[in-house]
Structures are given as structure tokens and as C-alpha cells.
Amino acid sequence: MATDWGEEYRSKLLSAEEAVLKIGPGRSVFLGTACGEPQSLVKALLAKSYAMIDSEVIQTLSLGLTFYADDQFRDQFRLNAFFIGPNVRSAVNEGRADYTPVNLSDIERLFASGLKPVDVAMIQVAPPDQDGYCNLGVSVDITMSAAMHADVVIAEVNPNMPRVGGDSRLHLREIDHLVENDQPLLEYVAEGDSGKVAPRIGKNVADLVPDGATIQVGYGSIPDAILAFLEDKKDLGVHTEMFSDGIIDLVEKGVITGARKGFHEGKIVASFCMGTRRLYDFIDGNEMFEMYPSSYTNDPCNISRNDRMIAINSALEVDLTGQVCTDQIGHRFYSGIGGQADFMRGAARSPGGKAIIAMPSTAQHNTVSRIVPTLTSGGGVTTTRGDVQFVVTEYGVADLRGKSIMERALALIGISHPRFRAELLMHAKSLHYVYQDQMEAGYVGVYPEQYEVVKVVADTEMYFRPAKPTDEPMLKEMFYSFSRDTVYNRFMGLKRSMPHRELQRIVNIDYDTRMTIAGFVNEEGVWSMVAFAMYDLDKESNTAEISFAVSDQWQNRRIGTLLMDMMIGIARDRKIRAFTAELLAENMRMLDLFYRTGLKVETRLVEDTYLVTIDLWAK
């Protein structure tokens, strides 16, 4: 029911300068977040700084003026940042400002308990609705929590602030002073990435996102690239700490519907947003968008209630065991914990969820690897090795789920920048993370992704690709699944074991003189190797010895023919003259495979063995 709040509203109106003079000495003052920052109140703080004495300014991320972190105002203000933005980074690292590392989901408890008291909350809201409720719009996050627990609330009333659903409203009676302002909201535009790195990361991450997934993604060139590669997905949902303009197109194209979230279905749930006027106009009155305090959106239990929750976060460094550092570069603080740990843990608990770290493989113009043997001295662990499931760079995806330290190290080296792989492998050996005889071949060669292909075999999708060193455990499992006859025909005798030194020769390859194409199937989310073909090139004769293996349950399904066709194509790309092979005389199925290529096949029987030559250029 509409209420007459006009008189109350008018009684609380002050100028910005009058309002800030209500702040007494030694008070803690919270400032609204990012694009929700109350600009006229911040400017008034500057204008009346002479009257401020020992004020603590509490904030997460600022996009506006940050004079309160300048040395000249050290007697008036001291910033305490829950998250370090670019405009206060120097102040924190030079000791002119403080940084409180904390998960965003925990900040409301700090306010409520008095462990981090808020004396004055300076916020920005939309004008009251007919019932006297003001909307926090683009910045609910910890702003709502600060307002609910502050002794005094000063609200900047701005008609440019959009109104959104969720838990985003404060009644006039909960606000002590009002300041009117008709200034456009602060806007955020991500820095563009004209290179190839962000799109390649975007594609690799998008491959991990299934239809019907609920995503959490931040802001910047890499999140925007990820969103761009989601356009062919169906019924995606959003449950995130924040969002930017990048989601608008996906909503308009019907990609984001929220129809299969399982929690807040049909709604985009967030705590704040940063973007342009286009975004603010898009969410204004849009019932699809609901904003809630960070204590709700970032609660891992709430996050896990979304089906197929995909949390996508960034990092500054990842070490070879999977530890993630996000907020420091050595001893220098860079950003903050934010909601990374909240969402990584929540996604890991979600049915079908995935916890992903996505980052470029290098920094400082390819001179520094972000994948490191150990975290840089002074660097802290933002996300533990037990909470990371996937690490993604422009060079691929490292799946760390259930992986040993050795398997993690090899997987992470495999997605590092090629110029650092040999060095990282050397460090991994010195730390005894990997076998001392681990070969470099698979890490110094250029992985030929053009040979990746999906084929349908017996109504099942089979993924064929060049082998990687990380495939060794799957190859071992495949070998020990072979029947006695398969082992006898493949290895021309009874072979009882397949040790590491032999396994790695098949999968740890240079993609030049040795090439292996392996076939994989995914059963209930678990990949297994079911077939492979390999060749070993003799450069002097320009011929390559070829061999095959197919798991028993997948034999007689023309997988050998598919592999043979792929190997012929690869060999021709490399101008190899011929394949050679040795077969037991009784292995007529393999001999028939060679003849069915239509190429010129020459055979010579020596005792019980066929010596075969296949001319790759003659029929």
C-alpha cells in the first residue's frame, strides 16, 4: 500500500557538505562499492576534509576519487580496503592504507558482530518508490550489510540509479540523511584485448560449460571472451558475485534463460554490477535480475544449490601442486580474496559443478610464467590445491580432479607457455614431483591441435587427438585391460608389464619424429583411452614405423580404419615417404587394414613375421 513519505523525505534532506559534517572524529565510514559509489558525498568529504579527524574509510572496490588514500590527508583519513583496486594499490603497498583479507561472504558477520564496526554508511540509492523504499540498484553487495549495521546512514538519492529485484531495498526510515544528486553513475569499460590470448582462453573455458549450466564470471577481457564463446549454449543461468555488459547479448539471444538452474530459476542472481549506461538501462525494472547481499550470493551453500554451477575465476600465479595466488605478487598486495574461495567451494559441491581458474600463461609481455614451481616468496594461497578442479590457459585445460602431485605438475606444465616448459619440468624433477627420467619431448614440441577431431563410433562420440604426457595413466589402464590375444598380436609376444619408461615413449612425444593419435570416450564424466596409433620416424630413410592398439571391447568397430586414415593424413602433411610395420603372420586383420587403404602395400614374410611397407604416395 502506498504511503505518504514526502514529509519524512524532506525532513532528512541535506546538502552533501552538511551531511558529511555529521561525521564525528575518529569514526569508521563505509563508502558504496564501484559504480554505486556516492560521488557527491565523496567530493564533499574532500571539500570538508579539514573537519575530518582520524576517520577510517572502509571500502571494497573504488572506481572514483580516492584522495583519502593520499599522504596529504593522512591526519584525516585512513583507508581500510577489503579489496585492492588499481587506484589504491600503491597506497596499500607504501603503508598509507590498510588491506583486510576476507571472503566477501564473511563481511556481513564482521559488521554484525562488531569485529569491524561501521559508524557511518555513505551509500547511493534510487529515489523512493510509492511505498517509501529506496533501491540500491547496481551495488547491493556489502553495501546493504553496511547500511543495516551502521549507526548512521547517509544516502545519495540519484534518479539515474536503476531499480532491481531481490533483497535490494532500504526504507526511508532506515536512512538518517538524504542528499540529492542527478549525476550519471560511474561507468566501467573493460580494457580490450587485441591479441589472441583472451579468445583462446575463452574457447577453452567454454568447452567446459555444458548446456543448462549456471555460470559465475567476473569482469575484464578474459571474462568477456568467455561469454563470447557461449553463444551456442542453451539455457544457461547466472549466479555470480558481479556481472558486466557482456551478459546482455546472451540474454537478448536467449542463451541465458535460467530455466535449468534449480535455484532462483529464471533469475540472474548477483550482488553488484559494473558496466555502462547500456547495462544500467537493461537491468532497470527487468524482473530477470535480482540483487542480493554478498552474504547471500557468496554463501557456498547457496552457490552449490545451483545445478551444474561453473565458477570461473582468475589468478596471478598457480604453482605445480595447484595452489592459487590471486591477491599478491610476492610481498606486494595486488587485489583481494573477493569471492573466489566462496565460489570455488560452492561450485565444487554443486551437482555437475566445476571450479575453474582461467588465466594467461604469462605476464609482463611473455617474460614471466604464471605457472610456477612454487609460489613467489611472500605470496599467499588464495585458493588451496584441494579446491581447484580445472586450470585453463590459452594452451589448454589441466584437469586436477583426483590427481596426484605428479599428475598435477605434468598437467600444469603442459598448459604453460612453451618457452617455460623445459625449465618447469627441471624444477619439478628437483622437487621430486615427477619421475627423474621424465622425458621433455611432449613439452618442447608444438602440440598440433589441428589434429583433434570427434567421430561417432557405434553411436558413441569418440574424441581423437594427439597424445599428451598426462595420458600415461589412461594408457596404463588401457594396457592392463587387454586380453591375452590383444597383447600377443600388438606386442608380438606375451608382455606382462608396461612400466613408465615404455608408457612415456607412446604418449610423451615430440609431434615430429614420434606421433601418437589416441581415441578417448567419456563415460559418466570420466575419460578413458580406448585406442591409439603411433609412428616413429626414421628421418634418414623418411619412413615411419606404425603400430596400433584397440581395447578389446572396442574392436571390430572400424576404429583402426579411422586411425589409419588420420595417420596417413598427418604423415602426408609431413611429407613422409612410407609407413613400415612388423606383424605376426597370423595377424591378418591388421594386414587387411593396410590393404584397404588403397595404397601400394609390399609385404615380405620372414619366418612368422610380415615386414610391411606402405607407400603413402602410390596406389
**From CA 324, how far away is CA 338, in angstroms rounded?**
14
Q: Which residues pair with 455 in a beta bridge?
A: 462
**From CA 154, how far away is CA 280, in angstroms rounded?**
23
H runs (alpha helix) in 492-598: 500-507, 559-573, 588-595
Beta strands at 28-31 and 55-59: parallel, antiparallel or unpaired: parallel
Q: Is 241 a catalytic residue?
A: yes
Task: Determine what percent of the chain falls in helix, strand and coil, rounding each to the nearest 5.
Answer: 30, 25, 45
Owner of C-alpha cell 584397404:
596
For the chain, the C-alpha Rg in angstroms (whole number) is 30
Contact 101, 327 (CB under 8 A): yes
H runs (alpha helix) in 141-285: 143-149, 197-206, 221-228, 246-252, 277-283
Owner of C-alpha cell 609407413:
579
Q: Which residues contact 360 (CB under 8 A, 6 or more apart)?
A: 197, 198, 201, 222, 370, 393, 394
3-class state of residue 416 by DSSP? coil
Q: Which amino acid is at 7?
A: E
**Of 131, 105, 124, 137, the residue nearest 290 (C-alpha):** 137
Beta strands at 578-584 and 609-615: parallel, antiparallel or unpaired: antiparallel
Owner of C-alpha cell 598435477:
408
Contact 315, 357 (CB under 8 A): yes
**From CA 260, how far away is CA 213, in angstroms rounded?**
7
3-state secondary structure 461-490: EEEEEECCHHHHHHHHHHHCCCCHHHHHHH
- Cα 413 to its chain centre, rounded Å, is 17
**From CA 371, how far away is CA 374, in angstroms rounded?**
9
**From CA 312, how far away is CA 121, in angstroms rounded?**
31
- 345, containing H or E segment: helix 340-349
Q: Which amino acid is at 279?
A: L
Q: Which residues contact 91 (CB under 8 A, 6 or more apart)?
A: 66, 69, 70, 79, 97
Question: Catalytic pick from 37, 56, 241, 394?
Answer: 241
The neighbour count for residue 231, using CB atoms within 10 Å, is: 11
**Of 24, 82, 80, 28, the residue nearest 52 (C-alpha):** 24
Give the CA-trace dihedral at 134, 136, 137, 141, to 10 degrees: -160
Residues forming the active site: 241
